[in-house]
Amino acid sequence: YGLTYEEIEKGLPLIDTSRTLIREVCPPVFSHVECRAGKYRRLDGLCNNLQHPTWGATNAPFQRLLSPLFSDGINAPRISHTGRDLPLSRVVSRTMHPDDGFHDHAGTVMVIAWGQTPFNTLTGAIDGNTVYGVTEKFAR
């Protein structure tokens, strides 16, 4: 249809297909969502946002913050500027951050937990309007 990548990415998601023939192939879960008050959130992610109940739900489309960069423009993995395959992310990670063999057994994840305690104590004493710029009345 002669659409550019930008038109496909930015424009197509804005089209309301609920009044077109394509609605028949759309998942029925998104056709009408009724949000009911409950003690727990739904496992499928529906109704987490009451204004937009399908946002963040399982199998719901989302808008990307950055455009995808597929090598063929559709779905092939990215390649380097020389045309070769990119290295595996694990290889890059291990190359940039090698294991030097030093393991401090005295410092464990428990150190982080103990460090979090005074932080929570100190920040819990701060008035909310100092941090967020609103009073309790407007925060609700």
Q: Rounded mean pLDDT of 21-40? A: 78
In this prediction, residue 18 carries a pLDDT of 74
Q: Residue 17 falls within a domain, yes or no? A: yes
Total domains in the fold of the chain:
1
Q: Residue 6 falls within a domain, yes or no? A: yes
Q: Residue 8 falls within a domain, yes or no? A: yes
For 83-138, write each residue's pLDDT tens digit: 999 999 999 999 999 988 877 777 777 777 888 888 777 776 655 555 555 555 55
- Residue 79 three-state SS: strand
Q: Residue 59 falls within a domain, yes or no? A: yes
Domain range holding 70? 1-75
Rounded Cα distance, 56 and 30, in Å: 12
Q: Residue 120 falls within a domain, yes or no? A: no
Separation of CA 17 from chain center? 24
Q: What is the pTM of this model?
A: 0.37
The angle formed by the CA atoms of residues 10, 51 and 22, to the nearest 5 degrees, is: 50
Among 68-72, 78-82, 91-95, the least confident range: 68-72
Mean predicted lDDT score pLDDT of the chain: 79
Q: Residue 38 falls within a domain, yes or no? A: yes
Rounded Cα distance, 81 and 67, in Å: 18
Q: Residue 64 falls within a domain, yes or no? A: yes
- Residue 69 three-state SS: coil
In this prediction, residue 140 carries a pLDDT of 47
Q: Rounded mean pLDDT of 37-44? A: 87
Q: Residue 57 falls within a domain, yes or no? A: yes
Distances (CA, A) of 123 to 20, 112, 118, 120, 132: 52, 16, 8, 5, 13
